[in-house]
Structure 1
């Protein structure tokens, strides 16, 4: 059984979208991945889509979603470091990744954030597989 994981940010337009993209690409054996935001936003940031494409992850069809668009119960809830308190979503494990938002900055910031997220998703998969995160 796959762990339902949601990556949550304010606008679901950059970091949480990248995390969903990585989770679907490298964690598909153990993760059922979602992403969402606490506020509406018109689009996924074009530079986020571009840097993920550089890494071989197609996010061209992604769009910002709200918490109401994802499952009501999760195994894992991960906030991205947005200094926002999410409405309560039932889950078994919660953590905050504390990532700076590259929005509005140069593409290098997006690349750095993309790589940090990849590393964190890889570590999350290892922690689930090892039983460190009990589900």
Structure 2
């Protein structure tokens, strides 16, 4: 049971965004940190963005701000909805409107709760390195607050 809501915790949660490089891996790591292995948590995107070496990776600023709070995302490899090993999630949380549409399609005919959390894309923020890092911190902190509210402490 979730202490805050009195509602049974889901068995499996998926976070989805556009590229699976910033928001969804951050959210996935934050929920794992909160719940440990009590909930299976995964993340994906609509597509992956390959770097010069041909491999998709987490955004370096996302790595840095998550490392600040003791979450290591360095092993995360971005994937798409099509790359998921299993798509039987109890809750799918979309962090972008585009991912929301895909999540609804994926869950059609299933008993999954689909939620949309409109979270700012920090990669769109321009300015100094420190001000861009602050945008990533703000997203991290917004996700952490939303996760704590939704899933309890």
Interval containing the TM-score (normalised by the shorter chain) = 0.7 to 0.9
TM-score (norm: length of structure 2): 0.76
TM-score normalised to the size of structure 1?
0.85
Q: Which structure has the highest helix share of the two? A: 2
Q: Which runs of 5+ in 2 are unaligned?
A: 1-8, 50-55, 126-131
1:18 paired with 2:20, answer no
Give the conservation status (yes or no) of the 8 Å contact 2:10–2:90.
no
Is 1:78 paired with 2:104? no
1:110 aligns with 2:136: yes
Q: State how far apart, in whole Å, the 1-side matches of 2:10 and 2:94 are.
A: 20
After superposition, where does 1:23-102 map in structure 2 within 5 Å? 23-41=31-49, 42-70=56-84, 71-80=86-95, 82-84=96-98, 85-86=101-102, 88-90=105-107, 91-102=111-122
**Distance in 2 between the 1:43 and 1:29 partners?**
24
CA distance in 2, matches of 1:31, 1:119: 18
| Aligned-partner SS, 1:26 | helix
Name the CA distance, whole Å, in 1 between partners of 2:81 and 2:43: 8
Number of residue equivalences: 126
Aligned to 2:93, what secondary structure does the other structure show? strand
**Which contiguous aligned blocks of 4+ residues in structure 1 show a shift greater than 4 angstroms?**
none
Aligned-pair RMSD on alpha carbons?
Answer: 1.8
Structure 1: state its 5+ residue gaps. Answer: 130-135
Larger Rg: 2
Q: CA deviation at 1:40?
A: 1.7
SS of 1:89's equivalent? helix
